[in-house]
Amino acid sequence: MTCHSQLWDKAGVLAPVRASLASGRPVRWQRIAQLPDYVYFDHSIHIDRGVGCVECHGRIDRMPLTARAKPFRMGFCLDCHRDPSTRLRPASLVTRMEPLPWTSDERRRFGKAAMAHFGIDPRKLDNCGVCHR
Ligand code: HEC
Ligand code: HEC
Ligand code: HEC
């Protein structure tokens, strides 16, 4: 409420947050992005290797109310694991939402160099045991 006593302080969508503060009862969060328990996932390696938030969560900056941008099916994960070369960026730009000002050639060239630098091997990244441990 430190922010929301000043910003969007009358927004209907935040009524449950104001009610929670008044009553002292915690908000019941509805998870939007959630994988089944049998899938292993860790943000840190993705962020470290330069996979932007937008690749998986879409344009969060344009969602006043957060919606799931991608279904998070197995195929979605595998598509990138089999060829991440067009989906990597400098780690300093992982939170940037707007498209990068790069041509697709430039992007692929960066991606290939990053894969070589980190030793990312797509032939190993679709092994079942990477995500099902
Ligand atoms: C490679 C895909 C991927 C990237 C990149 C990624 N995320 Fe996620 N994120 C996920 C998945 C998958 C989950 C659900 C994880 C689970 O269920 O354990 C998730 C969950 C979350 C959640 C919890 C959402 C909820 O509904 O409770 C937040 C917040 C989040 N991510 C923020 C970020 C931010 C910020 C970044 C960038 C710095 C980022 N993520 C980058 C895939 C990704
Ligand atoms: C846009 C590209 C992209 C997407 C989408 C993506 N990944 Fe990854 N993932 C990567 C990259 C790049 C790595 C790093 C590989 C490396 O460094 O060898 C990685 C690594 C991993 C690892 C290995 C972590 C470790 O500690 O060895 C796991 C597990 C993983 N991803 C799970 C997932 C799951 C589950 C999803 C789908 C919900 C997903 N990833 C979606 C690009 C992606
Ligand atoms: C990059 C991560 C990743 C890899 C690698 C991966 N999976 Fe998955 N798998 C997922 C995710 C995410 C889900 C849950 C979403 C879904 O059901 O599509 C899933 C779901 C499943 C399910 C349940 C499907 C259902 O309809 O209930 C099975 C079975 C499965 N995987 C088998 C495999 C096998 C076999 C392999 C190796 C050939 C494999 N997976 C490799 C991420 C992965």
pTM above 0.75, yes or no: yes
Q: Is 38 among the domain residues?
A: yes
Q: Is residue 21 part of a domain?
A: no
Assigned domain for 41 exists: yes
Report the residue among 44, 56, 81, 121 best suited for mutation to probe ligand 2: largest number of ligand atoms under 8 A from its CB: 81
The total domain count for the chain is 1
- Residues lining ligand 3, Cβ inside 6 A: 35-36, 39, 72-74, 77-78, 81, 126, 128, 130-132
Ligand 1 atom 21: residue of nearest CA:
33
Q: What is the domain range of residue 64?
A: 33-131
Distance CA 90, CA 107 (A): 11
Residue 19 inside a domain? The answer is no
6 domain-assigned = no
Pick the ligand that lies closest to the CA of residue 88: 2
Residue with the two structure tokens 């195929």: 75
Answer whether residue 26 is part of any domain. Answer: no
Question: Would you give per-residue pLDDT tens digits along the chain (133 residues)?
Answer: 888 888 888 888 889 999 999 999 999 888 888 899 999 999 999 999 999 999 999 998 888 777 777 778 999 999 999 999 999 999 999 999 999 999 999 999 999 999 999 999 999 999 999 999 9
Question: What CA–CA distance (Å, rounded) separates 39 from 36?
Answer: 6
In a domain, residue 23? The reply is: no
